Every structure is written in structure tokens, then in C-alpha cells.
């Protein structure tokens, strides 16, 4: 009977820890999704994942990356 109780407690802990870990990763990815960066060329704000990164700067498009580098 004691073994059964231990198994139930172990399962509950596993579920609780699993849920906490899921929430942490979910909120982390949301923060990453919501991060906005500014195009160096036209000051347009875009999501970091959609921006083009070059030399530590962000650009909204390939055209602006090239236009800014030609300066």
C-alpha cells in the first residue's frame, strides 16, 4: 500500500514539474516572439524573427540592408 502512495506522489510531482517547465518555455518563447527591433535604414519596427540581421543591426528587408551598407 505504501508503494502505491509513493507512486501516486511521484506521478503528481512529475505532472506538476512538467507543467511548470512547459509554462516556463511557453512564456520564454512568447517573449522572444514579442521582441521588436528597428530597421536601421527606415526606422520601421519589426519582429526580431522577421528582421534581417547584419553586423549587429536589423533591417526590415534585404533592400534596406543593401541600401544601408552602400552608404
Q: If binding is defined by CB under 5 A, does position 57 make contact with Zn ion?
A: no
Q: If binding is defined by CB under 5 A, does position 60 make contact with Zn ion?
A: yes
Q: Of 34, 62, 39, 69, which is closest to residue 49 (Cα–Cα)?
A: 34
Q: Least separation, in Å, of the C-beta of 38 and Zn ion?
A: 9
Size of the site for Zn ion (CB under 5 A): 6
Mention every residue, 6+ apart, whose C-beta is less than 8 A from residue 65. 41, 52, 54, 59
Q: Least separation, in Å, of the C-beta of 67 and Zn ion?
A: 8
Q: If binding is defined by CB under 5 A, does position 41 make contact with Zn ion?
A: yes
Choice from 6, 11, 16, 42 touching Zn ion (CB under 5 A): 42
Could you tell me if 57 and 68 are in contact, meaning their C-beta atoms sit under 8 angstroms apart?
yes
Amino acid at each position: 500500500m505504501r508503494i502505491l502512495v509513493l507512486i501516486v506522489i511521484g506521478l503528481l510531482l512529475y505532472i506538476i514539474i512538467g507543467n511548470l517547465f512547459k509554462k516556463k518555455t511557453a512564456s520564454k518563447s512568447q517573449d522572444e516572439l514579442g521582441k521588436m527591433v528597428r530597421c536601421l535604414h527606415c526606422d520601421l519596427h519589426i519582429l526580431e524573427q522577421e528582421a534581417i540581421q547584419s553586423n549587429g543591426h536589423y533591417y526590415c528587408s534585404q533592400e534596406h540592408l543593401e541600401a544601408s551598407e552602400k552608404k
